[in-house]
Amino acid sequence: MRKRMVAVATALPVAAVVALAGCGGSDSGGGGSEEGVVSIGIGEPQHLFTTDVGETEGHQVISALYTPLVTYGEDLNIEMAAAESVETDDNKVWTIKIRDDQKFQNGDAVTADSYINAWNYGAYGPNAQQLNSYFARIQGYEDLNPTDDSEPTTDQLSGLEKVDEHTIQVTLTDPYIDFDKSLGYTNYLPLPDAAFDDPAAFESSPIGNGPFKMKGEWQHDQLIQVEAWDDYPGDKPQINGIDFKIYQDPVAQYNDVLANNLDITKSIPTEQIANAEQDLGDRFQQSPSGSFQGIGFPDYDEKYSDVRVRHAISMAIDRAEITEAIFDNSQDPAMSWVSPQIPGATADTCGQWCQFDPDQAKELWDEAGGVEGNSIQISYNTDGGHQEWVEATCNQLKTNLEVDCIANPMPKFADMLTDLANQAELGMFRLGWIPDYPSMDSYLQAQFSCDAIPAPNYTNYCDEEFDNLLDEAYRADTQEEAQAKYLEAEKLLPESMPMLPLRFGKNNFGHSENVSGVSIDVFYELDLMSLKKN
């Protein structure tokens, strides 16, 4: 946030955040947590049910509670985790063998059924799971999601077959070269039978197969606590537990780190980035990020229906100036939609439409007749540190297009995503993205394909040629051929400009004196297993 929509400004990097006047939860010193427990600042998750988690805040919690089938090494190649092997001869029929030592934190065994039942639940249209479209490649998905408003005739994906207690055969509708890479994402996690008895109750205290288990229930807008699970079959954590403290103010979160009342902030607030090294010394860290920051145009809003308006807005923004003045060059101006950290990505697919050219922008704007009421707005979430750059962007648009631009604050990222999925009239809107897995497709399919409407394709962009090019990439025999097709699809986006690229982020994070071993990967994920309490 479909991975992963991100809550924060990537000066901060795409996804983290928050509390009003401190944090929600504990007010004790030493990181505000018990001995051996690390406290991490996050924003209020939208969900904690695996097939409904599409943003970074919930995903960070889920990463503590569950072990995915595969993970990714430093070179972004897949590594087996809960899976013993993932094999295919044709990229269409895949065989997944699950390690036989896996179990859930309630003692239930993790079996092939644990995955099949979870995936069927996520794919079944009436369950309205946010990651529903992630199962669209599996044979039988259309039967669970009829397009004529009729009721599904089944709740089982025909492409899922239980070979034995620890083996699943997955048949896709068409070959997909990156299917094994995608198995590291949240939608492919297992669920115990208890999840389906009362999904709402389960979400308050999820039961996973990971190195940490829930300690109590999710205290909304306050705190989520997890503790090390003694019976975890893999390498054990080096800490006793984690307090995920929920904030709505990134500056309060940062100040709590400075005061050693919070151990880790995953995103340095925009207004503090220039001072972070002085404030934190070597506890201020940076690392490569796959994060993307952009502004979306709602296809359902007539005000932005003329592509000349969208092009004009893009060309009227001086990305370099904002990156330098506000983010102290802790981000890079984006001229494409896929991060250069991802294999096959290129630096400039947007071309002239992302070049700062206020004169041509104004000419296009006038040619299109501007917009009704000569007023536009950019909606953004205030729990992610976006106010300064959104207001700066609006000021540039006011100056260069002579239009009234309103920065529209919304308290919670989770609520903003819900409004976007319901096509609320928010005008233009800030979006951040972190890849789900190391493929260009992780940016393109989720944000721009027809299948991903209304979420996470919040712009409602739908282009048959774009989708066809993605399909050709999926059927490719080699990664090089697939990447060429992904790139061809990406180069269609400037013609319609459903979302204008702004910046690629870096992970800019900090920690207190009470913790060490802090690192964040290109997916904006803290390595929880390397954390140590000093």
What are the phi and psi torsion angles at 476 (to 5°)?
A: -60, 155
Flag residues of the chain having pLDDT under 50: 1-4, 9-31
Point out which residues pair with 506 in neighbouring strands: 288
State both tokens at 275: 């001072």
In this prediction, residue 18 carries a pLDDT of 29
Q: State how far the Cα of 332 lies from the Cα of 129, in Å rounded to an integer.
A: 34
The predicted-structure confidence for 381-416, as pLDDT tens digits, reads as follows: 988 779 999 999 999 999 999 999 999 999 888 889
At 424, is the secondary structure helix, strand, or coil?
Answer: coil
Residue of 45, 32, 434 lying closest to 206 (CA atoms): 45
* Burial zone of 319 (CB within 10 Å; 0-12 exposed, 13-18 middle, 19+ buried): buried
> What does the buried/exposed string (b/e) look like for 51-85 if buried means 16 or more CB atoms within 10 Å of the residue's CB?
bbbbbbbbbbbbbbbbbbbbbbeeebebeebbbbe
Name the superfamily (CATH) of residues 69-192. Answer: Dipeptide-binding Protein; Domain 1 (3.90.76.10)
244 in Cβ contact with 225 (< 8 Å): yes
Alpha carbon 221 to chain centroid, angstroms:
20
Domain ranges of the chain: 69-192, 292-505
In this prediction, residue 254 carries a pLDDT of 97
State both tokens at 262: 């919070």
426 in Cβ contact with 416 (< 8 Å): yes
155 in Cβ contact with 120 (< 8 Å): yes
Domain 292-505: give its CATH architecture: Roll (3.10)
In this prediction, residue 6 carries a pLDDT of 58
Alpha carbon 101 to chain centroid, angstroms:
30
* Burial zone of 532 (CB within 10 Å; 0-12 exposed, 13-18 middle, 19+ buried): middle
State both tokens at 37: 């427990």
At 61, is the secondary structure helix, strand, or coil?
Answer: helix
Q: What is the pTM of this model?
A: 0.83
In this prediction, residue 20 carries a pLDDT of 26
499 in Cβ contact with 520 (< 8 Å): no
455 in Cβ contact with 54 (< 8 Å): yes
Q: State how far the Cα of 349 lies from the Cα of 336, in Å rounded to an integer.
A: 5
At 199, is the secondary structure helix, strand, or coil?
Answer: helix
